[in-house]
Amino acid sequence: MICAAAFTAALSLSGCATSEPTAASSSSPASPSQTASPSPTVTQSPTPKPTPVTTTKKVTKKEAIPFEEITKKDPNLDKGTKKVTTQGVKGVRTKTYRVTYVDGKETERELVKKVVTKEPVDKVVSVGTRTPPPPEPAEPEQAEPEPNCDPNYSGACVPIASDVDCASGSGNGPAYVRGPVYVTGSDIYDLDRDGDGVACET
């Protein structure tokens, strides 16, 4: 019993000595659970690309249609002769396309309609087939007769002479004329005796 009391007293003394913390125990390093953890790294997500804008519209285009040249034989024209009887006219063809654009740039063109809006007119050339007749021989020029009628009279030829009388009268010539004779100028042969403009009436 004395040994047990002494052991208890010794244990209480040692317990009092160790119950107060020492300076070394206060400066001991912190436990891993008390250490500050590093901040997490922030990962940025990529910027999404914009969605392409697709549009379509119809586009029309006109193109010329060439005309053809047709040759026809014409019996009313001489051989070697050509004549344009119909002038050629170009036609017009209209094409309609469906055009696709992506972000304003053309990416596809599709023909959806083709119409002839104006028919061409063919050019017609007539070629002669007729054999021309041989030229007629030229007639020899005939000398014009010398004028032998007095220009002061008409209706009958009053010859130009030193004196002219009416054939039905009593004059002595030397030249005669049968009437009626119309005085158109000067009555130089005194044929119109009554002055009515008509001489040699009988």
Non-local (6+) Cβ contacts of 102 within 8 A are 52, 53, 54
Residue 10 DSSP SS3? helix
Delimiting residues of CATH 2.20.230.10 domain(s) in the chain: 54-130
Mean local confidence (pLDDT), 23-51: 60
Residue 15 pLDDT more than 70?
Answer: no
Residue 146 pLDDT more than 80?
Answer: no
Handedness of CA 182, 187, 188, 194 (dihedral sign): positive
**Most confident of the following: 34-38, 89-93, 131-135:** 89-93
**Most confident of the following: 5-14, 20-29, 101-110:** 101-110
Non-local (6+) Cβ contacts of 56 within 8 A are 98, 99, 100, 101
Q: What percent of the chain has pLDDT over 90?
A: 37
Cα separation, 167 vs 187, in Å, equals 16
- For domain 54-130, the CATH class is mainly beta
Of 8-12, 43-47, 122-126, minimum mean pLDDT range: 8-12
Give the model's confidence band at 53: pLDDT under 50 very low, under 70 low, under 90 confident, else very high: very high
Closest CA to 14 of 26, 6, 4, 23: 6
Cα separation, 142 vs 19, in Å, equals 178
**Most confident of the following: 25-29, 102-106, 138-142:** 102-106
First to last CA, the chain: 223
Cα separation, 121 vs 44, in Å, equals 72
